[in-house]
Every structure is written in structure tokens, then in C-alpha cells.
Structure 1
């Protein structure tokens, strides 16, 4: 593991409209820390971890595929202070306080699905890597990444805690190390299957193309692009449903894709082409089922789209880019089938996509965002139509359901206040 230092970003580097808000948020965190023990120095460290938006490659990362993602300006902030014992305390508004003894890293079944499991899981990962944990720390946290909304609040939290561990322990980990640690903690301790896209996007920052052909050594290409320069607003619509009780629906997607891959003697869909699926179509239907075939069909087409999107952005061909976004959205709806979880009375993502198509076609783009089944859609809205778009969506999904997001150029970081 190469020795690296956590990126340190001056507060002034945050977007102008966010700087004063960040100051106020950090100031409010100081009062939430527990009383300082006399033997502990008042040593305060400030951190920020962004949410992420998936731009392309819907449900491809867990089958060694390619994705395009970006960090966004909705983030989690943390104020951390070292302790002279092995206790981690965490306070966050709206949640019960957490206390973890870092000397006990054994998996606890009763913690599954909780923030405590992530903290303990990260400590366990560090221990497995041969790193010594010298002391604990107090954390006060504030989040602007809505839970269950498809903006990866879980990955933002994992990366935030991983960065604090790294900074306090001076381990010299890289952003990819943090991402791998977070994924491991989520899979093994939190108990939710996930790929690595969310964590890498939160860790690296900016727009990133990620190739997971070798999952332990993902290839990462960073690029910059300003959608506003083409008169577009990148918007997320929170449809009011959330992801929090959909673990089975998510786990079925990689399981079904890998069932298809196994018929070709492979452990993942990577390397399987359309012609291969057509040649074994009947076998796939019998042994894995029709939905598995459709999801595999989605993968073999979707996996090429992130690279095509990068090419379009690099030549500033926004029309081609938006066309690919819509192809991705149609494939998710028709073949991947992650738009709804089977309840005929709750089809909020479908309603949001229907309304987007009605208003934005043919000049813009819209798609399911992230894991699907619930949560959010993503839309590229012409500036001239954004107010109408927001009004229409908020009439249906409630005030504040439309979020204008910006690409944040840096990932999880330590914040320099002066």
C-alpha cells in the first residue's frame, strides 16, 4: 500500500453558495461533541464526504463492468476529535448516539443494517490489513445526503469514517483503499450487497470512468465537464419512496446476472456478448429464468455506454451524450426492470419518468438513478424549462423533491477552515 495523505481542501474551495453554510454547519457540530475529558487535547479535525450521482452503467459494477459516476455538492460533514481510549462515539441529529469499543471488532448480528456496523466493520478491515488502531475518537456529524434516495448516503458515510480512521491513525491509505474498505464493511458487517462504484465516486471526486474488469484493481479515469455551459441543469427528483427495505430486490440483480454467466463458465457477465446470449437463449430461460435473460441483455449493452459517454463529453457532443443517457434509461426500464418492486399502487419512479419524457422529449434526457426500485430519477433539464420541470415534479412528489445538483471536483477530504 503506497503511503498517501488525505486531500486537504480549503473551505474557500467549496462553491461560494456553500462556504457560509459549511461554516455554520461545522460551528453547530462543536456543541454536539461530548464533554472533553481533562486528559484529552482539544484537537479538532474537519471532514467532508460527498454523495454521488451515477451518470452511466446502471447495475454493471457488480459484474465486473464499467460505470460513469460523479461526486456531488450534497455532502456529509464531520467534526472529529481524538480520544485517549479505544472508544468511538458518534452523534448525528435525528439518530441515537453510537458508542463502539475498537478493541472488539467481531461481527455482531444485532448491529446489521446500522451505522454502528459500518464503524466496527471498518475497524475490522483495518485490523485484517495488519494496521494497529491506537485510539478512538469522538465524531459529530451533519448530513445533507438524504438516506434511501439513491445518492449513496451509505457510501458517503463509509468514506467519511474511513478517512477519519486514516487521518487519526496516519495509515497513508489511498482513496481506492477507503472505497474497498467501505464496500467490505457494507457487504460483511452492514449486510447489504453492493458493488464498488458508489464508494469510488465518493472517494475520488469529480467525474470518474471506472472499469471493474479487475475488481480489486479498478481502472479509473477522471474527467471534467460543465453541463451548465451547454445550458443544462443536472437534476435529481426524489419520488418519496426509499431504498431501505429493498435488499432482496437489489441482491437478485447480480445473482440473476451471475446465473447467466455461469452457463458460459464465467463468474460474471464481463466478456459475454449479445451473440452469446442469443446462442444460449433457450438454456438461459430454462435454467435462470426470463428475467435473468433480460437483465443479462441489459448488461451486455449497458456496459459499453460509459465509454461512449466519455467519448461524447471529450468531444463536447452533448447531443450524443444525452442520446446515450436515454438509451441507458430505456434499457433499465425495459430489461433490467429496476423501476418498481411489484406494488401496483406504488409506481413513483415510473410516474416521474413519464412526466419527464412528456416535458423534456426530445431535447433532453432522463433515467432511473442508481439502484432503482425506489428513490430518485435523474434528468438533464434545459435551463429554460427547469422552473416548469421543478413545479410539475413538486406538485406530484412534494415541495423540495427536485434538487439541482452540481458536480463536486473533489471527493472525501479534510477541510482546512482558515
Structure 2
């Protein structure tokens, strides 16, 4: 699958380039993408002297529905986005993995035979690389040294799973270079999740990694979290009238670990009171019937969070049905209901750590006052970070300027959704997804 650098340069410069690239990046400026790839190819040659290489792209993801449901074996609706990690990779015949890139904080040079977690690397790209290599070795898969040049448009801190995209990217490079692309999206996602949990120090479910690896718009059922059931939702009717975006409120996630951990902790504690290890399978009537015991043993907030999970889990199916029916109005009503539930019941919009930094509820309130039409909700983990908005196309620029006046230039990030998952870009114009033969 490795091809000459000149073959890639000829492909990127040719007329056949645009059609497959639109599958990855949608309506985003094609000439900018052409320049981006050309620059990456030249930079890879200057840095590593590589005349043969492979281009790989791993998308970020956005959560469309199912806020804090995956860790309770629930359902989610997620989509791959056009913002990605794009890499040129070349095997180097050594045990060294060397990475140089834009969008990554540091140059990386590690020994791929050293696969124990290192506490001093927590929170760094080095930890993710080391964790992915460890995951391959634990499964008896081949690894080796390679040189990689990277350009990332999915930025850390924007709620689009940059760490998951990076982990999946490294996994797919190993998959392609040393394992004949035999691993599919689920295997890559499980390896990436293990790297984030055990090496990077980020407790997370599997939704982020699976959405990055599999791509498209996915309904994922985590009733069996080791073998989740995925189905593609091909219809996306809202794009004809609305712009989908996230708004980065600029809040810091530092000091919020306890607040994040309390959500699955309280849900599981309340479910245990009712005789189950997780909230999946509980009904509202069961919770109501057990209120006296739940209040004594789990507390009121845990009850509210159970109510959120049960209704949100059902809401995901309603959102899928609305998308497939082309019913944008119902879909956006469900998006607003999801956001309202997260704010009132799940309570992951306001943080107790700082009364002065409440960017998420401020952004939601400003959006609600600005828009008479559309939808808005907290995006992802909550407490700080991003909200998700659906803005009528004719109002999008005015909305962008309004929010940038509060949260700073570039805070509104428009998204194209539904692209393929992690894949190799071949110089004949084909996209090769994980697990498929070339």
C-alpha cells in the first residue's frame, strides 16, 4: 500500500483529486485541502527523506444524541466530522517511532519495544502512541518503527475527540504498515480506548474512538460494550436548511475530574439500589417506585441522572427514526429536549468548581435568546468546553459574529458530518477504510 511520493503529488495535482476528497471534507475549500496535502508531502520528505509513504486520515467526531449514555450500556448517535488528523507515514526499519507535526504539541521519538505506561507521559501524545503499540502487542499483532508527519485540523479542547482521532490514526498506521489492514473499526477503537484509559489518563467510554474509526453517522448500542451494535444512518435532512456547529466556550477542564466521574458513579450507585449494575434496562416506573430507598441510599441528584439516562436512551432511537424519515422538525425538537435534560436532570452544564467560569450555560442562554429556530445542547462531557448548535443558514454568519464577540475569534466551528472513518488515501483516488482489502 506504500506508494511513491511522486505518485501522490501527481494525484493531488490532477483533476481526479476532487471527487474522493469531497467524501472526506465535504464543501470545505478544496484548494486549501490540496495545498494542505501537498505541503504535508513536501514536509515529510524534508524531515525524513522518505520517497515512499502512505497517507492516512482519521476524523474527529461529534455527539448528536445520547449525552452520557454510553458508560451505562446505552445508545448514542454520533457522527464523524470533516476535521481530522492527516498523516504521511513511512516504515523506517528500526524500533523507533518518530512523529513531527502541526497540531501536536511536541515532536515524538519513542522506542516501540517499551510499552509500559509512564506516569510522566500522562496527557501527552507520547502516551497515546505508546498505549496503541502496547495494545497491538497484547493482541499478538505486529508492530515496528515508522516516521510520520502530521497535520491536524481537529483541535484539542474543542470537544471533537482529538485524542481519539489521534489514537485511531496511530492504530491504523500500524494496521496498514505491519498487519495488512486486517483490523476493523471496532478492534482499532478498543485499542485506542485502552491507550486513552491506561496510558493517557483519560477515563472514557468507547463512543469517541468508534465514531472516529467507523465514520459516517452511527447509531451505536452499547448494551454489550465489548461487542456494540452499530448501524449507519444514511439520512441527514437538516443540512439543507441548517448549519451544524460547536461553540468552544474556552473553559478549562482542569479540576473537573471528580465532577465527570460523579456522573457514571451516581448512575451506577442508584441502579445498584434497584438491583442492577448499570442504568440500562431500568424504567421510569421502577425508579418512581423505589424513590424512598433511592433517596436514602443514592441521593436526589443520582435519581435525576437516572431519569435523564432512561429518557435520553429512548430519545436516541427517536432521533434515528426522525433522521430516516427526513423529519427535520421532529429531530430538532429532540435535540432541544436532549439539551434541556442535560441541563436540568443530568446537571452537566454548570460546574461547582467556579461560579465565575460558567461558559457552557452562558453560551446556551445566549444561543436561546438569539435563535427563534434551530436547536442547541451541551456537547460531550459538559461542565466546560463546547455546546452544539443547529443554526438556520441565513443566520449563521450573524450568529458566528455574535458568539465571537463573547467567546473570541474562531470559537464557532462549523461541521460537515457523515464522512468515512479512518482510512488510507491511495494515489489512485481510492479511500481504503480499516479492515478492507486494498
Task: State which of 262, 267, 281 in structure 2 corresponds to 1:271.
Answer: 281
SS of 1:47's equivalent?
strand
* Bigger shift: residues 386-395 or 89-98: 89-98
TM-superposed deviation, 1:103: 0.9
- 1:333 aligns with 343
- 1:241 aligns with 251
Cα 1:268–1:108 shift into 2, 3 Å: same
User: Where do 1:153-302 residues align within 5 Å?
Assistant: 153-171=162-180, 172-227=182-237, 230-243=240-253, 245-302=255-312
Q: Is the 8 A contact 1:36 1:42 kept in 2?
A: no
Q: Is the 8 A contact 1:34 1:138 kept in 2?
A: no
SS of 1:304's equivalent?
helix
TM-superposed deviation, 1:248: 2.7
Task: State which of 364, 367, 381 in structure 2 corresponds to 1:353.
Answer: 364
TM-superposed deviation, 1:27: 2.9
Residue 57 (1) aligns with residue 78 (2): no
- 2:39 aligns with 28
Q: Is the 8 A contact 2:97 2:112 kept in 1?
A: yes
TM-superposed deviation, 1:22: 2.7
SS of 1:357's equivalent?
helix
TM-superposed deviation, 1:417: 4.0
TM-superposed deviation, 1:229: 5.2
Number of positions where the alignment pairs a residue of Structure 1 with one of Structure 2:
405
- 1:142 aligns with 151
TM norm structure 2: 0.88
What whole-Å deviation, never above 9, does each CA across 1:31-86 have from its counterpart, x for those lacking one?
Answer: 2567547xxx6321111111111110000001100000101111111111111111
Residue 90 (1) aligns with residue 99 (2): yes
Q: Distance in 1 between matches of 2:69 and 2:167?
A: 21
Q: Distance in 2 between matches of 1:248 and 1:169?
A: 40
Q: Distance in 2 between matches of 1:414 and 1:248?
A: 38
Q: Distance in 1 between matches of 2:254 and 2:125?
A: 13
> Which structure 1 residue ranges, 5 or more long, are not aligned?
1-8
Q: Distance in 1 between matches of 2:145 and 2:127?
A: 16
Cα 1:70–1:36 shift into 2, 3 Å: closer
TM-superposed deviation, 1:16: 5.3
Residue 44 (1) aligns with residue 53 (2): yes
* Bigger shift: residues 342-351 or 87-96: 87-96
SS of 1:148's equivalent?
coil
TM norm structure 1: 0.92
TM-superposed deviation, 1:266: 2.0
Residue 364 (1) aligns with residue 378 (2): no
Q: Is the 8 A contact 1:89 1:137 kept in 2?
A: yes
- 2:402 aligns with 392
Q: Is the 8 A contact 1:368 1:377 kept in 2?
A: yes
Task: State which of 390, 399, 403 in structure 1 corresponds to 2:413.
Answer: 403
Residue 416 (1) aligns with residue 426 (2): yes
TM-superposed deviation, 1:13: 4.0
> Which structure 2 residue ranges, 5 or more long, are not aligned?
1-18, 429-438
- 1:378 aligns with 388
Cα 1:268–1:400 shift into 2, 3 Å: same
Cα 1:51–1:218 shift into 2, 3 Å: same
Q: Distance in 2 between matches of 1:254 and 1:237?
A: 25
Cα 1:35–1:316 shift into 2, 3 Å: closer
- 1:81 aligns with 90
Cα 1:160–1:244 shift into 2, 3 Å: farther
Residue 66 (1) aligns with residue 75 (2): yes
* Bigger shift: residues 210-219 or 401-410: 401-410
Q: Distance in 2 between matches of 1:330 and 1:285?
A: 23
